[in-house]
Amino acid sequence: MKRSLTFLLVLTLALTLPAAAEEGQGNGFFGGLGSWLDDTLQAAGDAIGDAADAVGSAAGSVSEAIGSAAGSVSEAIGSAAGSVGDAVGSAAGSVGNAVGNAIDSVSTFAVDTWNAADKAVNGMWTSVTGTQLFDADDQVYMLTVDEDEPITFMGAPVNAGKDTGYSKAGAIEQGDPHYGWTLGQFYIEGATKMIVDQPNGSVIFLKTVGDQLELHFGLTQNINRLNDRDDLAVCSDRDGFDKYFQVEKTDMGRGALITRFTNHQRLAGEPVLYTDYLSAVAAGSADTVIQLNEEGDYEVALDYELQDAGKFSIPQYHDYHIFFTFSVRNGNCMVYLFDASTKAELRNETIIENGFSIDFARSRYLEIHVKRETLAEDGKTLDVRYNKVAQDGDEYTDEGVYTITAKNIYTNEETSKRLFVGDEEAYARYIDGGITVEG
C-alpha cells in the first residue's frame, strides 16, 4: 500500500510540476509553489480516498466470499455424510459377498499360485544353472525293477511324531495323511546272495569278487503331489534333527538320508548326512546311490516331513522315519599263504624251509584255524602240538605239518590247506614214517 501511494505522489508531482513552474513566472515563485502544493495535496487526498474506497470494497467482497464458501462447505459436508453412509452400507454388502466368494476359491487360488511359483522358480534356476531344480510333471518318481535282478527291498515308514528328532515309531493309522500309500522303497542290489541270520533276523548280504553292492531309493510318489493330492507334499525341514544319530539341528531340506558304518572291530563311524535327498532322487541324480563295498554293519535312516495344507485349514506338518540295518560279508572262503622269506604265494601241499604267513585278503569275518603236528616218538604218527585261531598276518616257522582251515560261518563252507615247514632232511623222516602233506 505504501509503495502504491508513493508512486501516486511521484506521478502527481511529475505531472503538475511543469505547470506550477509556468504559473510561478507570472505571480512569483512562492505564489505559484503554494498554488501548486494546494493542487497536489488535493490530488493526493483524492487518490487516498479512492484507495480507501477500493480497500473497503475489496474487504466487503472477501467477507461475502468467505460467507458463501462457508455455506457451500457446510452443505458439502452434509451431502458427503449422507453419501458416506450409503457407501458404507453398500460396501459392507459387497465385502460380505466378496469374502464368501474368496473362501470358496482360496484353495484353488493357493494351488494355482504355488504351481505358478514352482514353474517360475524352476525357469529361473534352469536359465541360470542349466539344470532342473524339480518339476511336478517331469519328476523321475516311478520305481521300476527287473524281476531278474538280485535285489532286496528294505525298510518301512513309521510316524515319528512332531519335532521329536524322528525318535518315535508310531503306527500309521487311519486318518494319518500317510495312511494307505508309500513314498517309495529302499533296495540293495549287486550282492551274490542275501541271507537272514537266525535267531535275531538280521539281514546279511554276501559279496564275492567283482560284486558292486549299492543302496538305492526308488520313489513311487510325486513328492510335490503326494497320493494325487495337490495339498499334500514333502516339505523342507528347516530345523530338523535326529535324536538316534545325534545329528544337531540343521536344514535337512526335503528328506534327509543318514547312514552309519560299523567295522569288524565294532567301531562305529560318524553318521553321514545327505540333505535334500528326496529332491535329488526325484531329479534322477546319481549322487543318491550309496556304495556298500566294505565288510561291516550298516544303519540307514530316511527322515522326512509332510505338509498337509488341507482345503480350509492352516497347514499341518507330520514327521516320518524309515530305519533299517543290514550287514555285508564276504561270500568266499579263501585264505592265502605266503613264504615268510620270499613272500611268494604258496600252493596247497607245499614244502617250505623258512615258514609261512597268513593273509585273510580283507575277509574280516572268516574263522581260520591253524593246527601244527609233529612226528611222534614212534616215528610213524603225528602228535598235535596246537590247534588255534589265527590272526591276519601271523607267521609260522617251527618244523611240522600244518593244516590251515578257513570257515565261512555264513555259508558253512570250509577250505583246508596243508604245508610242511622244515628242510628236506626233516621231511624225509616224515616220509619214512609214511607221512606226507599230499592228500
Whether 33 and 176 share a structural domain: no
Whether 365 and 297 share a structural domain: no
**Mean pLDDT, residues 136-163 taken together:** 75
The three cell numbers of residue 140 are 523321475
**Domain contains 51:** yes
pLDDT of 250 over the 70 cut: yes
Closest CA to 402 of 337, 327, 343: 337
Whether 190 and 277 share a structural domain: yes
**Domain contains 292:** yes
H/E stretch holding 18: helix 2-27
Whether 326 and 344 share a structural domain: no
Domain boundary among 330, 357, 378: 330
H/E stretch holding 240: strand 240-242
Domain boundary among 67, 86, 113: 113
Q: Which domain holds residue 315?
A: 151-330
Whether 103 and 174 share a structural domain: no
**Separation of alpha carbons 56 and 61, rounded Å:** 9
The three cell numbers of residue 37 are 502544493
The number of domains in the chain is 3
**Domain contains 395:** yes
Q: What is the pLDDT of residue 126?
A: 36
pLDDT of 302 over the 90 cut: yes
Whether 234 and 267 share a structural domain: yes
pLDDT of 15 over the 50 cut: no
Domain boundary among 301, 330, 359: 330
Q: What is the pLDDT of residue 60?
A: 52
CB of 212 closer than 8 Å to CB of 243:
no
32-46, 79-93, 162-176, 365-379: range with lowest mean pLDDT: 79-93
Whether 167 and 294 share a structural domain: yes
If you write DSSP's letter for every residue of 307-361 in order, what string do you get?
Answer: EE--SSS--EEEEEEEEEEEEEEE-----EEEETTT--B--TTEEESS-EEEE-T
Whether 291 and 368 share a structural domain: no
Q: What is the pLDDT of residue 362?
A: 83
Mean per-residue pLDDT of the chain:
78
**Of 68-72, 105-109, 242-246, 361-365, where does the model show the most confidence?**
242-246
pLDDT of 358 over the 90 cut: yes
**Of 78-92, 93-107, 223-237, where does the model show the most confidence?**
223-237
Instruction: Tell whether pTM > 0.95.
Output: no
Q: What is the pLDDT of residue 286?
A: 74
pLDDT of 137 over the 80 cut: no
pLDDT of 407 over the 60 cut: yes
Higher pLDDT, 221 or 29: 221
**Domain contains 140:** no
Whether 209 and 77 share a structural domain: no
Grade residue 20 by pLDDT with cuts at 50, 70 and 90: very low
**Mean pLDDT, residues 63-71 taken together:** 47
Question: How would you classify the pairing of strands 367-375 and 400-408?
Answer: antiparallel
**Mean pLDDT, residues 399-421 taken together:** 95
Quick: pLDDT tens for 336-355: 999 999 999 999 999 999 99
Residues in the chain: 439
**Domain contains 136:** no
**Separation of alpha carbons 262 and 324, rounded Å:** 14
**Domain contains 46:** yes
CB of 368 closer than 8 Å to CB of 390:
yes
Whether 160 and 301 share a structural domain: yes
3-state secondary structure 74-95: HHHHHHHHHHHHHHHHHHHHHH
Whether 313 and 386 share a structural domain: no
Whether 321 and 345 share a structural domain: no
**Domain contains 210:** yes
Grade residue 24 by pLDDT with cuts at 50, 70 and 90: very low
**Domain contains 157:** yes
